[in-house]
Amino acid sequence: MLLPKFFLKEITTIFKEQLINEQITAKEVRLIGAEGEQLGILPIEKARQIADNEGLDLVLMNGNGSPAVCKLMDYGKFKFDSLKREKELKKNQKIAEVKEIQLSMRIDEYHTSFKLKNAQKILQEGDKVKVSLRMRGREQAYAKNAVEDVEKFVETLSEYGTTDKKPEVMGHNVTVVISPKKTK
């Protein structure tokens, strides 16, 4: 049975949520205090009572264990902090862009070296480079030479990046994508 997309999205968010207070169905739980101290194995009613007395929530951390592990915490603050951490991690991620460098079969050596320097700079910044050589008119009869030109270009960039595939001819273009080498 296929489920609608909006329903699947709701299911995944439900499973990411942790069970709290009355949602916990275990009979006995291993209780961990707000400061991380072990309070022992207690019946669920006693654990809920302790949580109410301290003004905290009882949160199920691991329901697979025997007994289930619960922790006393302020769940609203915990959720807020975890969302804040996720946002910070997303902000620090670098999304690699693909930048294109176009060549032609009649390009001068000076212009090739200029484009090589630009490609090196792009790869050092951590972005991918798409090298494309456009063949016009009768140049299409010499596709083999065009592939060789692109391979030479890629070979000079070998210390800065690597390719997954060899250059391929697609219509009037010869293209290849160069990924930056991973720095340790």
Tens digit of each residue's pLDDT (9 = 90 or more) over 161-182: 888 888 888 888 889 998 888 7
Q: Please check the confidence at residue 8 and state whether its pLDDT lies above 50.
A: no
Question: How far does CA 136 lie from the centroid of its chain?
Answer: 39
The CATH class that applies to domain 98-180 reads alpha beta
What pLDDT is attached to residue 4?
56
Q: 44: phi > 0 → left, psi -120 to 50 → alpha, else beta; which?
A: alpha
In the chain, count H helices and then E strands: 5, 9
Mean residue pLDDT across the chain: 81
What pLDDT is attached to residue 16?
56
Q: Domain residue spans in the chain?
A: 5-75, 98-180
Per CATH, the architecture of 5-75 is what? Answer: Roll (3.10)
Helix (H, G, I), strand (E, B) or coil at 41: strand
Tens digit of each residue's pLDDT (9 = 90 or more) over 42-67: 888 888 888 888 888 888 888 777 88
pTM of the model: 0.50
Could you tell me which residues come within 8 angstroms of residue 124 by beta carbon, excluding any fewer than 6 positions away? 160, 180
User: How does residue 14 score in pLDDT terms, banded at 50, 70 and 90?
Assistant: very low
Q: Please check the confidence at residue 121 and state whether its pLDDT lies above 80.
A: yes
End-to-end CA distance of the chain: 47
